[in-house]
Structure formats: structure tokens, C-alpha cells
Chains A and B, each alone.
Chain A
Amino acid sequence: DVKVTQSSRYLVKRTGEKVFLECVQDMDHENMFWYRQDPGLGLRLIYFSYDVKMKEKGDIPEGYSVSREKKERFSLILESASTNQTSMYLCASSLSRWQGPNQPQHFGDGTRLSIL
């Protein structure tokens, strides 16, 4: 089974801090994604990556950046945390962009981030 591991389940940070959320997958997947989940809004895509050192903006990239230095690891960075970034953050991975549109995404358990 695919395992997607997010480094923290719960995180509390202060406004203005630089925050790192880490995600690791163990199945040699090429694609990795970061979403945020808010009540009544479903999941919204922040950033995604198809390969090492490659990144693409999703639907709500403002205030975030990402890093993919190794294939198995995809980091989400909040450059200067703000209270409106309090949310559940979910990481996902899928096999390859060349495997077609029907490949599923595999999700981690999420990081619940609170910005005070």
C-alpha cells in the first residue's frame, strides 16, 4: 500500500513565523500535491509537482511556496504565517502524469495548523 506521511498531525505557530509542512511518500510517485481543507469549501489545490525541482501553482498559491529537492519529499512553506492560513493541510501523491487521468491520488492524514 502507498504510504503518504505528513510530519505533524497538529501544529501551532504565531503570526509572521515561517512555517514548514513536510510530506513524504514511499511509492516512488512522480506527482505530489498540497491541498488545504476548510469547512464548507472542500479541498483546494495550493501547489503541485510532477518531478524533482519542478512546481506548479494550483488554485490558491498566494502566501505559500513549495520545495521538492527529492522525489519522495514535498514541502509546503508559509513564508509569513497569517491567521487566515489556519486550516487542515493535506498532502497527496499519484503515480505519474503519463499514466493517464484516471489514476487516483493517495492522501496523508493531514496537518491541522493553527496560526495565533
Chain B
Amino acid sequence: AQSVTQLDSHVSVSEGTPVLLRCNYSSSYSPSLFWYVQHPNKGLQLLLKYTSAATLVKGINGFEAEFKKSETSFHLTKPSAHMSDAAEYFCVVRSNSNSGYALNFGKGTSLLVTP
């Protein structure tokens, strides 16, 4: 079964400094991977997805993620944090069980951005 592990439950950065949110995946074949963001009291919004076309994936709001098969990682980065980036971030892998194209979510990383 496919699964993801988000290595940090909370990350705190200062505004203007780089962001790194770590995610490792487990999959027996080439996975479909996503990052979603959830702002307070809102639903989830897709940041980016890995489609196997390129290992470096660019998403919205300046975020990007790099797929590293040798490390089974799909870390999310942003060069310079903004206050509006404060949110919960979920690394997600497509399930290949009876759930078909349903998604398996990591437990989430809460990003705090301080002035």
C-alpha cells in the first residue's frame, strides 16, 4: 500500500526565510504525489502534483517540490516565506487499494510564520 510520512508536525520560520516541509513516501511503484494546503476553517487546496514528467514540480504561490526516488522523498520548499503561508500542509499519495483513485494523506505539518 502507498503511504506518506510527514517528518515534522510543526515548522516555524521567520518571514522572508526559506521554507522546507519534509515528506517521505512508501510505494512499490512510481507514485502519484500531491501537496495540499489548508488555511484555517477552509477546505484543502491543491498546491502541486507530481506527474512523473519532471522531478522538480512547481506549484502555486511560489512553492515547489522535488521528487527524489533514491531517497523516497517529496519535500516542499519555498525560497521566502510570507505571512499568508501560515497554514496546515498535507503530503498526499494516491492509494492503489480498493479505494481506487482515492488519496492517502499524511498527518499534516503546521507552518507558523513569524514577523
Contact = CB atoms under 8 A, between A and B. Distances in A.
B115 interface: no
Nearest to A44: B105
Given A42-B90, A90-B43, A105 B98 contact: no
Closest 10 CB pairs of A and B: A107-B43, A42-B105, A43-B105, A107-B44, A101-B32, A42-B107, A104-B46, A109-B43, A102-B51, A101-B94
18 contacts: A4-B43, A9-B41, A35-B105, A41-B107, A43-B44, A45-B95, A48-B99, A48-B100, A48-B102, A58-B99, A58-B102, A59-B99, A94-B101, A97-B100, A102-B50, A102-B51, A103-B101, A104-B34
Interface of B: 9, 32, 34, 36, 41-46, 49-51, 90, 94-95, 98-103, 105-108
- Secondary structure type dominating chain B contacts: loop
A79 B50 CA distance: 38
Contacts of B42: 109-110
A74 interface: no
Given A102-B49, A104-B49, A43 B90 contact: yes
Contact of B106 (A42, A94, A107): A42
Contacts of A106: 46
B41 A105 contact: no
Contacts, number: 66
Interface in A59-94: 59, 90, 92, 94
Contacts of A108: 43
Contacts of A56: 98-100
Interface of A: 4, 9, 31, 33, 35, 40-45, 48, 50, 56-59, 90, 92, 94, 97, 101-110
Contacts of A31: 101
Given A101-B94, A102-B51, A45 B99 contact: yes
Nearest to A4: B43
Given A4-B43, A45-B95, 14 more contacts: A9-B41, A42-B108, A44-B105, A45-B103, A50-B100, A57-B98, A90-B44, A101-B32, A101-B101, A102-B50, A106-B46, A107-B43, A107-B45, A109-B42
